[in-house]
């Protein structure tokens, strides 16, 4: 055991959209290169350990999202202050912000790890998304399915800019980054469809990585990019 520790935060609540695949993608990309790696799931009732290297939060419906936001506690913030990397998707992204308002109009406190705020959009954003990233990786692809729209404050930068889809919804920006904390509306799972984004996150922990065979991922991306949907 040991090596790089990937902590999946409450996947039972924040796992509706298959984002647990982000953990599988990270573990695969480490182990295929001979780097030991371990995945840890935080279940309801357990506290979030602060000793992980990479933390993942996935998407979920409003009720699960509110429950998860109340359960996460201080462990994740301690990990961020120790320079851990975080990737949070959709509901997870909204939870990391300062506050989020659900589709019923109730406002909830977020964890304040990203300077962003979420309120309902006039209508749900559903469909394929293509994003030109602000981080040094290729075009990001995936799908979105959310009602919330997210406004960035001064401390957060966009993860990229949508060329297809809605993303943050209040401008053409998509997602956010602040230090080593990343938020996105991309499901896919995002790190399976965007292997260089996965490697970008991993390289923040382990340094430069050798290339690996991404034939499957390249074909999956080409299909997404050519799809007329
Ligand atoms: N419940 C949130 C919203 O509708 C997040 C949805 C999701 O995680 N896909 O905006």
- The reported pLDDT for the residue numbered 88 is 98
Is 60 a pocket residue for ligand 1 (Cβ < 6 Å)?
A: yes
Instruction: Give every strand in the sheet of 176-178, ordered side by side.
Output: 37-42, 4-9, 54-57, 85-89, 181-184, 176-178
The domain that holds 66 is classified in CATH as: 3.40.50.880
Mean pLDDT of the chain: 96
pTM over 0.95: yes
Helix (H) or strand (E) holding 147: strand 140-152
Does any ligand 1 atom lie closer than 6 A to the CB of residue 149? no
* Structural domain for 153, as ranges: 4-226
Does 147 sit in the ligand 1 pocket, CB within 6 Å?
A: yes
| Whole-angstrom Cα Rg for the chain | 16
Q: How far is the CA of 208 from the centre of ligand 1 (A)?
A: 34
Q: What is the pLDDT of residues 64-89, one digit of tens each?
A: 999 999 999 999 999 999 999 999 99
Name residue 148's beta-bridge partners: 120
Count of domains in the chain?
1
Report pLDDT digits (tens) over 12-57: 999 999 999 999 999 999 999 999 999 999 999 999 999 999 999 9
Active-site annotation holder among 28, 90, 200, 223: 90
Task: Give the residue among 127, 130, 146 at the shortest CA–CA distance from 138.
Answer: 130
- Measure Cα distances from 56 to 102, 105, 125, 170, 216 in Å: 21, 27, 22, 25, 23
């Amino acid at each position: 055991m040991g090596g790089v520790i990937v902590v999946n935060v409450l996947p039972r609540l924040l796992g509706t959209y298959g984002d647990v695949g982000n953990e599988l993608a990270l573990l695969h990309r480490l182990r295929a290169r001979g780097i030991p790696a371990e995945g840890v799931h935080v279940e309801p009732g357990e506290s979030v350990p602060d000793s992980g290297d990479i933390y993942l939060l996935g998407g979920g419906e409003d009720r699960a999202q509110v429950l998860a936001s109340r359960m996460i506690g201080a462990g994740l913030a301690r990990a961020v202050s120790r320079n851990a990397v975080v990737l949070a998707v959709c509901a997870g992204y909204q939870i990391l912000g300062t506050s989020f308002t659900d589709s019923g109009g109730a406002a909830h406190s977020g964890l304040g790890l990203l300077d962003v705020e979420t309120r309902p959009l006039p209508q749900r954003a559903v469909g394929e998304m293509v994003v030109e990233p602000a981080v040094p990786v290729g075009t990001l692809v995936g799908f979105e399915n959310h009602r919330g729209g997210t406004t960035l404050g001064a401390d957060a930068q966009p993860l990229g800019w949508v060329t297809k889809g809605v993303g943050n919804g209040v401008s053409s920006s998509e997602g956010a980054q602040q230090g080593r904390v990343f938020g996105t509306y991309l499901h896919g799972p995002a790190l399976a469809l965007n292997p260089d984004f996965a490697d970008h996150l991993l390289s923040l922990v382990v340094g430069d990585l050798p290339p690996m065979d991404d034939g499957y991922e390249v074909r999956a991306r080409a299909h997404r990019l050519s799809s007329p949907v």
